[in-house]
């Protein structure tokens, strides 16, 4: 199997509302296994849009998307959901946790959906991830009882639960202070170095981007 | 699909909106309970009224009607066969009301596999004499054991005993008649038949059917007494009453016997068509009310689900982002709706049952229905099955549309919207 985890060919996207507008212009890129890549660029250049395409949530585009050399473009909703569940971990700028579930259950949920391990094993893994993120003692709290930085760490733990091929983040530190974003960066860094975890993070934080292995700069829907 | 997980998520969402969910479920409970109570009561009423007629009416009655001969002499003539006949002043022929060869017919009918039993009867108009006044009425001469077996007349004898009719010259008279003539059990009543025969009979009982027209005029005596009264032989009867195992075949059986024995025959359905209409109207009303209540409850569920989906947009977006497909999300909301519907429905059945038991114990004493002491209820389990099916179907439909909406939510739009 090749070393390429994620590859795009001539990825192009238009918005039609209110006027036709090309957001992404024939984007070719690839991410290797174990790489820690950041995407930077001016506000409105299309970073988030690109990330939504790569995460398979947005299917309205031209060009092709490959994950592990497998063509993803054109697959039905059910298979895409399966791919997201198994191969992609997503961390948003705003910590999207389910308010109805405890921290631990939030982390476990994608694992339960995948259904490859027993509930006990998933719970054990979830506790392990929470422990590495120093969140173990918060496991039984509800999300609304956590601080912003803590919620983001829970979201990272959730992204890790199924050992995904790649973790994508859209400004995961955008909402955090310097101390907390350093903490998140350190977590990401540790994941690539110790587990060879592939990471693709959109950020505005130049400091953050400089410390990653590779930085992709976007301008006006193109990679430069 | 991992149904346990989907159910788990549905329950968690439901718990977050417990109050509204309960209100929605109570709507279903109310609808189902009302439906059960109404249908059970209406059907109890139908059974009561049907029973009132059915128990007292033969499925097929054979008799001789007074009518003109169908074949007038001229129609038998070869010569005028192709002509149109105008005959004026045709008079009915007096064949008498007696059924000829009745013993043989009854014997033949008793062998028939479709027939439960046969009861012979004589009905004849009489005058009851009380002092100087004469009250017209009817005497039914009955075969006491057969009549009791088929029509359970003892249910309507409020004083005395039907078996006493087997004594010579005894009679049971209607309550209305007894009241009018100030007669009680043990008195002697004088009777004049249409042919002028006079007789005195001993009153051994009072009957009350609940229909004043009947109670005011009718009386029962034994076949033998009636024959004696009329001065007829022991094979004289005017009616043969038949009960069938399958009541729905009565029209065809009536037709068959009519041709076979050259008698007039009337079947249950024809004789009681107005009661059938009443029964079906009552059934339709109770089902209609039940369905309307459930539709209202369905809208309640539809509303709460729509509201929940609106509030839980974020949660739906996360579920989708973390690997739940549109159909998983759809099933989460359908199960949510089904949980509300089933819980509400089961409670509805319980409350419905409780209501019917309460109705069943409300005293209902009416002079016209001597065998009834409380309101009638039919406890058919079929109503409960229909009720819970209604609940499942309406909540399923009410949940389906919001669930489809939830399954189509675009997570990108939600995540971008923050
Ligand atoms: N739903 C939409 N309809 C029309 N235009 C849109 C829509 N979503 C985004 N856009 C436009 O697409 C462009 C790219 O948006 P995108 O969110 O990808 O930018 P971004 O690079 O993530 O910016 P930021 O750094 O501010 O988050 C912007 O000009 C935006 O106005
Ligand atoms: Mg963005």
φ/ψ (deg, to 5) at B408? -95, 0
Chain-centroid distance, C-alpha A96: 12
Q: Which residues of B touch A75 (CB under 8 A)?
A: none
What distance in Å separates residue A151's CA from the closest CA in chain B? 14
Residue B385, Cβ density class (10 Å: 0-12 exposed, 13-18 middle, ≥19 buried): exposed
Q: Determine the Cα–Cα distance for residues B249 and B239; give it in Å rounded to an integer.
A: 20
pLDDT per residue as tens, chain B (418 positions): 688 899 999 999 888 888 888 988 898 898 889 889 988 988 888 888 777 777 778 888 888 877 777 777 777 778 887 888 888 887 776 667 788 888 888 888 888 888 888 899 998 899 998 777 788 899 999 998 888 888 888 888 888 888 888 888 899 999 988 888 888 888 899 999 888 888 899 999 999 887 788 888 889 999 899 998 888 888 888 899 998 888 888 888 888 888 888 888 888 878 777 777 777 888 888 788 878 877 887 887 788 788 888 888 888 998 999 999 999 999 999 998 899 889 999 999 999 999 999 999 988 877 666 667 888 888 989 999 988 998 888 888 888 999 999 999 888 888 887 6
Tell if the CB–CB gap between A81 and B323 is shorter than 8 Å. yes
What distance in Å separates residue B12's CA from the closest CA in chain A? 6
Residue A87 belongs to some domain of the structure: yes
> Which 3 state secondary structure label does DSSP give A4?
strand
- The predicted structure's pLDDT at residue B204: 92
Could you tell me if B341 and B396 are in contact, meaning their C-beta atoms sit under 8 angstroms apart?
A: yes
Please give the structure tokens belonging to residue B360: 């069943």
The residue behind tokens 């089904």 is B338
User: pLDDT per residue over A94-146, tens digit each?
Assistant: 768 998 899 999 999 999 999 899 999 999 999 999 998 888 999 999 999 99
Tell if the CB–CB gap between B323 and A55 is shorter than 8 Å. no
Q: Which residues of B touch A48 (CB under 8 A)?
A: 416
Q: Determine the Cα–Cα distance for residues A120 and A123; give it in Å rounded to an integer.
A: 5
CB-nearest to B13 from A78, A80, A100 is A100
Instruction: Please tell me if residue A19 touches chain B, with a CB cutoff of 8 Å.
Output: no
Q: Which domain holds residue A87?
A: 33-61+77-223
DSSP string, B271-296: HTHHHHHHHHHHHHHHHHHHHHHHHH
Residue A208 belongs to some domain of the structure: yes
Closest chain A residue to B6, measured at CA? A113
pLDDT band at A159 (very low <50, low <70, confident <90, very high): very high
Among A5-9, A55-59, A172-176, which stretch is predicted with the lowest mean pLDDT? A172-176
- The predicted structure's pLDDT at residue A95: 66
Nearest CA to ligand 1 atom 2: A15
CA of A219 to the centre of ligand 1 (A): 12
What distance in Å separates residue B394's CA from the closest CA in chain A? 27
Please give the structure tokens belonging to residue A50: 């690109």
Q: Which residues of B touch A114 (CB under 8 A)?
A: 323
Residue A70 belongs to some domain of the structure: no
Task: Say yes or no to pLDDT of A209 above 80.
Answer: yes
- Which of A216, A55, A180 is CA-nearest to residue B415? A55
Residue A23 belongs to some domain of the structure: no
CA of A203 to the centre of ligand 2 (A): 9
Beta bridge partners of B200: B190
Residue positions counted in chain A: 224
Tell if the CB–CB gap between A84 and B328 is shorter than 8 Å. no
Instruction: Please tell me if residue B415 touches chain A, with a CB cutoff of 8 Å.
Output: yes
Task: Say yes or no to pLDDT of A1 above 60.
Answer: no
Strands B115-130 and B170-174: unpaired
Residue A27 belongs to some domain of the structure: no
Residue A22 belongs to some domain of the structure: no
CB-nearest to A85 from B12, B323, B418 is B323
Q: Determine the Cα–Cα distance for residues A217 and A211; give it in Å rounded to an integer.
A: 14
Instruction: Please tell me if residue B330 touches chain A, with a CB cutoff of 8 Å.
Output: no
Residue A68 belongs to some domain of the structure: no
What are the C-alpha distances in Å from B258 to residues A68, B190, B303? 88, 37, 62
Share of chain A above pLDDT 70, in %: 99
Tell if the CB–CB gap between B15 and A96 is shorter than 8 Å. no
User: pLDDT per residue over B244-302, tens digit each?
Assistant: 888 888 888 888 888 888 888 888 878 777 777 777 888 888 788 878 877 887 887 78
Tell if the CB–CB gap between B418 and A58 is shorter than 8 Å. no
| CATH number of domain containing A48 | 3.40.50.300
Among A74-83, A147-156, B129-138, which stretch is predicted with the lowest mean pLDDT? B129-138
Residue A185, Cβ density class (10 Å: 0-12 exposed, 13-18 middle, ≥19 buried): buried
pTM, to two decimals: 0.74
Instruction: Please tell me if residue A78 touches chain B, with a CB cutoff of 8 Å.
Output: yes
Task: Say yes or no to pLDDT of A158 above 60.
Answer: yes
Neighbours of B208 (CB within 10 A): 22
- The predicted structure's pLDDT at residue B213: 84
Could you tell me if A41 and A218 are in contact, meaning their C-beta atoms sit under 8 angstroms apart?
A: yes
φ/ψ (deg, to 5) at B69? -60, 135
For chains A and B, CB pairs below 8 A equal 75
What are the C-alpha distances in Å from A190 to residues A132, A167, A211? 10, 13, 13
Q: Determine the Cα–Cα distance for residues B35 and B70; give it in Å rounded to an integer.
A: 53
Nearest CA to ligand 1 atom 25: A43
CB-nearest to A92 from B2, B326, B415 is B415
Task: Say yes or no to pLDDT of A197 above 60.
Answer: yes
Angle at B399 between CA B395 and CA B404, to 5 degrees: 155
Q: Determine the Cα–Cα distance for residues B335 and B205; give it in Å rounded to an integer.
A: 65
pLDDT top residue among B130 and A198: A198
The ipTM of this complex is 0.91
Q: Determine the Cα–Cα distance for residues B410 and A101; give it in Å rounded to an integer.
A: 22
Could you tell me if B330 and B319 are in contact, meaning their C-beta atoms sit under 8 angstroms apart?
A: no
- Ligand 1 touching residue A56 (CB < 6 A): no
How many domains, in total, are found in chain A?
1
Residue A180 belongs to some domain of the structure: yes
């Amino acid at each position: 199997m090749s070393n390429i985890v994620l590859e795009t060919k001539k990825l192009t996207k238009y918005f039609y509302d209110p006027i036709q507008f090309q957001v992404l212009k024939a984007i070719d890129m690839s991410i290797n296994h174990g790489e820690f890549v950041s995407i930077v660029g001016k506000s409105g250049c299309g970073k988030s849009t690109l990330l939504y395409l790569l995460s398979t949530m947005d299917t309205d585009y031209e060009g092709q998307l490959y994950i592990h050399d497998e063509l993803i473009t054109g697959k039905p909703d059910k298979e895409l959901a399966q791919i997201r569940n198994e191969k992609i971990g997503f961390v948003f700028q705003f910590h999207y946790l389910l308010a109805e579930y405890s921290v631990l259950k939030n982390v476990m949920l994608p694992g339960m959906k995948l259904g490859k391990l027993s509930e006990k094993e998933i719970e054990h893994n979830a506790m392990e991830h929470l422990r590495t993120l120093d969140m173990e003692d918060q496991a039984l709290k509800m999300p609304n009882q956590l601080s912003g930085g803590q919620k983001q760490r829970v979201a990272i733990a959730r992204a890790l639960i199924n050992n995904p091929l790649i973790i994508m983040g859209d400004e995961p530190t955008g909402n955090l202070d310097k101390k907390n974003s350093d903490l998140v960066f350190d977590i990401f860094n540790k994941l690539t170095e110790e587990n060879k975890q592939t990471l693709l993070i959109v950020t505005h934080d130049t400091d953050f981007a400089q410390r990653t292995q590779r930085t992709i700069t976007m301008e006006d829907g193109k990679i430069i | 699909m991992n149904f346990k997980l989907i159910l788990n998520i549905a329950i968690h969402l439901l718990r977050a909106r417990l109050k509204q969910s309960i209100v929605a479920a109570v709507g279903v409970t109310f609808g189902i309970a009302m439906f059960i109570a109404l249908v059970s009561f209406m059907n109890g009423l139908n059974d009561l009224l049907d029973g009132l007629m059915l128990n007292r009416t033969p499925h097929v009655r054979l008799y001789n009607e007074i009518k003109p001969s169908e074949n007038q002499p001229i129609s038998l003539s070869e010569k005028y066969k192709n002509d149109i006949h105008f005959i004026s002043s045709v008079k009915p022929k007096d064949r008498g009301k007696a059924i000829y060869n009745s013993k043989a017919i009854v014997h033949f009918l008793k062998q028939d596999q479709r027939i439960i039993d046969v009861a012979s009867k004589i009905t004849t108009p009489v005058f009851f004499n009380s002092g100087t006044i004469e009250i017209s009425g009817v005497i039914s001469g009955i075969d006491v054991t057969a009549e009791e077996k088929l029509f359970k007349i003892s249910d309507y004898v409020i004083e005395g005993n039907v078996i006493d009719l087997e004594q010579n010259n005894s009679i049971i008279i209607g309550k209305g008649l007894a009241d009018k003539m100030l007669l009680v059990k043990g008195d002697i009543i004088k009777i004049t038949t249409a042919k002028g025969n006079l007789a005195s009979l001993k009153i051994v009982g009072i009957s009350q059917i609940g229909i004043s027209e009947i109670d005011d005029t009718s009386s029962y005596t034994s076949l033998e007494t009636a024959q004696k009264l009329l001065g007829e032989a022991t094979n004289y009867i005017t009616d043969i009453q038949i009960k069938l195992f399958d009541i729905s075949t009565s029209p065809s059986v009536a037709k068959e016997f009519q041709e076979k024995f050259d008698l007039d025959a009337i079947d249950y359905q024809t004789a009681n068509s107005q009661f059938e209409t009443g029964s079906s109207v009552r059934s339709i009303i109770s089902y209609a009310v039940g369905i309307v209540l459930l539709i209202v409850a369905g809208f309640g569920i539809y509303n709460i689900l729509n509201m929940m989906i609106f509030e839980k947009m974020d949660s739906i977006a996360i579920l989708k982002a973390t690997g739940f497909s549109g159909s998983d999300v759809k099933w989460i909301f359908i199960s949510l709706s089904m949980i509300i519907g089933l819980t509400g429905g089961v409670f509805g059945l319980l409350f419905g049952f409780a209501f019917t038991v309460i109705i069943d114990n409300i005293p209902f004493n009416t002079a016209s229905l001597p065998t009834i002491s409380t309101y009638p209820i039919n406890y058919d389990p079929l109503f409960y099955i229909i009720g819970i099916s209604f609940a499942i179907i309406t909540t399923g439909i009410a949940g389906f549309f919001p669930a489809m909406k939830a399954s189509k939510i675009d997570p990108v739009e939600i995540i971008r919207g923050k």
